[in-house]
Structure 1
């Protein structure tokens, strides 16, 4: 029997293998030999390279720079997921020094400049950030976010979409991942001009936010979580969020998640928790077509102010929304049915106010949004039915 070598595999099989590999594994495969490199570099292979994952290590980033050189297939990249792996038991021991972080940002900047200048598809990139592992302190997510925004600010690489720890997570206890609010202030500290070029044409923005946690005392059964915040600092953080959102005038899709922590309610924590109030007033979303809100807290005034600004909305999903002042959700329901002629998908669940939680007893069974983890049932509607007036009862 003739032994089959890697070089002897048909092109179709090598392409199938490539489709299952992460970025650094593809680089290793292409180094196996000239024949393998050639077979994995044809036109069909380029489609596999359009979307890849990249672990944030110095070795991986050096390879990333190499494959974005002239003539290399990294220039075909359109969707990049950057991730870090976190072991919570050794997080502090493995903390990287500032020189290592700076070096990583420089390597990423070089790769982004290569894509910006030589990409055959115009250089626009969709970027997603992830943390693999539990992220209680939010330090790893802060490191990843600051490194990527620093590279974007330096390279001016245009961003098509930017997902900051939002889409890939359930955001339930034990699977948290979000960005400490103050990291937005840090990212903008050099001035918004650094990031404005990258986000000028951004179409989609996903943000998972929470308080910036200073310390976690795991020996305390009451989870003694501490915040180094003053009210002035919290106000600056909410202002920074508005500045960041206003860097994206072409935004068509917005996804916002808030992750709750067991903090005492102070003026500072409440300022951040109610960030949507300022956002509704100071941000404009004239092109918004799709909006997803999860576990937010706001006033009824802010809720109505925001949705009056987005008459072109096509898709709306709200999963957890607490009104701490106002009469309830009738105003929102009226807006959805009378001022949004293009609304084609509507999903509502977990709506609460001072009067209680909204139930939908009159909704047809086929329209109910039911999950055991999030009672009571909500509403899912499609097509013209999405614009039919929602009726709910509060209890």
Structure 2
């Protein structure tokens, strides 16, 4: 009997410990030494390398590799979270959507449940900030918006072709100074996304109104058609149609980024009130968690939106009511949201910024003694306690804190620096 130690005789648990010490390339080499070794070294640790993958949409090499890795139900079909990355200084190849579509077709055939758990769209090397201030040598916001549009369109075309269901979709919500302009949703209205979005449970989107200037001719004037109210109405209907593809949403996060604050056309003014149309046209009966940031609306619209759901978590930041008072909204939350367990409110505006009757300090000093914080967070049974607030009687004092607060707001909600 041969008593010499053999590599393929190593117990599974010991092999797993060995693999934890190896780089992926070394583990791949180890798997080539024999069938038994390959089996033992291809368990939990090795498979974990394939659960999260990133594809740069402008890289032809990465796109082709993704197609190859997901063929024949290989390890690529262990994928749980796919991140698609756009680069502002690179353009997508013409066949980017086709290659992404083939990858997703392969995943639909190979993934457990024929469903991709998570898809995220991000931009790398975009607009950069330091201490909430724009860094001059970073990408321009115009190139970031164009890249985001390309990345989104290629992704949606791939989903339409593959018909792969997804459970979570993040559209640039984790990227500072990057949003999808509403007119880009209008360009994909004819795609059949029902199969991919009908099982979607979590959706995060950062949105903005359409770009006024194109990259080649920034000084050009918009046409009368682009400025018209009908253009804004078309674009707001597009976001509603997209949301209507998602009938079982449990978690919705909407963020609005303002591209300009002056010389607003009828189209832009309509787009900035997109949430009013969403509240009117969309219903989310299964929604449990809702986050709204940078939204302009009215108290009546917010109430109409909330009456169709029973939330256990709500977050609102930088919300501006053009009509009505938050008092009505807060009363409805504490009296009628019976499952509410988490409330986070920050920088809410009626006629002025509101201050909560709660322990804490405001974001910046004022001319009068502080009357409470601008942020309120409650959890558990406290989430349904009455929410009271008031206005400051004084005015904001110039200070480092006030300056940082304003710069942070501009960074998160716009408008972008030129």
Report the TM-score range of the alignment, normalised by the length of the smaller protein: 0.7 to 0.9
TM normalised by structure 2 equals 0.76
Report the equivalent of 2:4: none
User: Contact (CA 8 Å) 1:359, 1:392: kept in 2 or not?
Assistant: yes
Could you say which residue in structure 2 is the equivalent of 1:363?
Answer: 358
1:357 shift after superposition = 1.5
Report SS of the residue matched to 2:316.
strand
Partner of 1:55: 56
**Shift of residue 320 of structure 1?**
0.6
Matching residue within 135, 149, 156 for 2:156: 149
- Other-structure match for 1:302: 301
Going from structure 1 to structure 2, the CA distance change for 1:129 and 1:214 (only over 3 Å counts) comes to same
CA–CA separation in structure 1 for the residues paired with 2:390 and 2:22 = 54
CA contact (8 A) 1:116 1:122 kept: yes
Whether the 8 Å contact between 2:358 and 2:373 is mirrored in structure 1 is no
Decide which of 241, 246, 255 is 2:239's aligned counterpart. 241
SS of alignment partner, residue 200 of structure 2 = coil
Aligned twin of 1:118: 110
- Displacement of 1:267 in angstroms is 1.3
SS in 1 for 2:278: helix
- In the alignment, is residue 258 of structure 1 matched against residue 256 of structure 2? yes
2:169 pairs with one of 146, 162, 169: 162
Whether 1:384 and 2:381 are equivalent positions in the alignment is yes
Separation in 2, partners of 1:58, 1:47: 25
CA distance in 2, matches of 1:48, 1:249: 33
Instruction: Report the equivalent of 1:352.
Output: 349
Q: What SS is found at the alignment partner of 2:347?
A: strand
| Other structure's SS at 1:159 match | coil
Q: What displacement does 1:245 show?
A: 0.6
Deviation at 1:67, TM superposition (A): 1.0
Report the equivalent of 1:21. none
Q: Is the 8 A contact 2:354 2:374 kept in 1?
A: no
Structure 1 residue aligned with 2:334, among 304, 314, 337? 337
User: C-alpha displacement at 1:41, in angstroms?
Assistant: 3.2
Report the Cα offset of residue 376 of structure 1: 5.7
Whole-angstrom distance in 2 between the partners of 1:232 and 1:29: 58
Partner of 1:23: none
Structure 1 residues 371 and 123 mapped into 2: Cα distance closer, same or farther (>3 Å)?
Answer: farther
- Structure 2, unmatched stretches of 5+, are 1-13, 128-139, 366-371, 393-418
Paired residues, number: 351
Aligned to 2:141, which of 136, 144, 147? 136
Partner SS state of residue 353, structure 2? strand
Q: What is the distance in 2 between the residues matched to 1:29 and 1:42?
A: 11
Provide the alpha-carbon RMSD of the alignment. Answer: 3.0
Unaligned runs of 5+ in 1: 1-8, 19-25, 88-93, 170-174
Q: Conserved in 1, the CA contact under 8 Å of 2:165 and 2:197?
A: yes
1-side partners of 2:217 and 2:274: how far apart?
31
Matched, 1:108 2:100: yes
The 2-side partners of 1:358 and 1:158 are apart by 42
Call closer, same or farther: CA 1:16–1:285 in 2, change over 3 Å. Answer: farther
